[in-house]
């Protein structure tokens, strides 16, 4: 069984910690986009406990809990950010024969990760964070 590139072997507890940390992020500032590489970008990332680790074309940041974010902006620009990608866990088959084993492993693991995610997501929704996230994202109404 093969894994796609990037760290995606996070435990449910790591996922829980990561999601709780997202509650303190200034999402309107993230959607506005990071500054260009250098000290400004480093300081911008540090506000959220992140560290920039790649900024060739698309800004990427690593959280203090080991998560990785990709900040995507239309047209290859840095701002405004219109999508944030983040992988917690993933697996892929190296061959078609591996597909059943991958699906079986996913079916076993999914309930544990879902349970871990529900509590912080419900808490964020209860205090209005999801509305702030959606309303501040470019192109959302």
Within-domain flag for 141 = no
User: What distance in Å separates the CA atoms of residue 37 and residue 45, rounded to the nearest whole number?
Assistant: 11
What global pTM score does this model have?
Answer: 0.67
Within-domain flag for 86 = yes
Domain that holds residue 130: 12-136
Residue 4 has pLDDT above 60, yes or no: no
Total domain count, the chain: 1
pLDDT digits (tens, 9 = 90+) for 91-121: 788 899 999 998 998 898 889 888 888 887 7
Sign of the CA dihedral with 98 first, then 117, 20, and 130 last: positive
Within-domain flag for 6 = no
Within-domain flag for 116 = yes
Within-domain flag for 122 = yes
Within-domain flag for 44 = yes
Token duo for residue 98: 């591996």
Within-domain flag for 123 = yes
Q: What local confidence, expressed as pLDDT, does residue 99 receive?
A: 92
Within-domain flag for 99 = yes
pLDDT digits (tens, 9 = 90+) for 69-83: 899 988 767 788 998
């Amino acid at each position: 069984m093969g894994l796609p590139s990037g760290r995606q072997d996070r435990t449910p507890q790591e996922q829980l910690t990561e999601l709780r940390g997202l509650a303190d992020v200034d999402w309107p500032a993230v959607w506005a986009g990071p500054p260009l590489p250098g000290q400004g970008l480093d300081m911008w990332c540090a506000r959220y406990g992140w560290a920039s680790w790649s900024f060739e074309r698309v800004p990427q940041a690593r959280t203090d809990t080991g998560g990785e974010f990709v900040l995507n902006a239309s047209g290859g620009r840095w701002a405004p950010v219109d999508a944030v990608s983040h992988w917690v866990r993933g697996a892929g088959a190296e061959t078609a024969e591996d597909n059943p084993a991958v699906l079986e492993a996913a079916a076993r693991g999914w309930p544990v990760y879902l349970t871990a995610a529900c509590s912080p997501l419900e808490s964020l929704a209860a205090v209005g964070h999801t509305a702030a996230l959606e309303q501040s994202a470019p192109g959302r109404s």
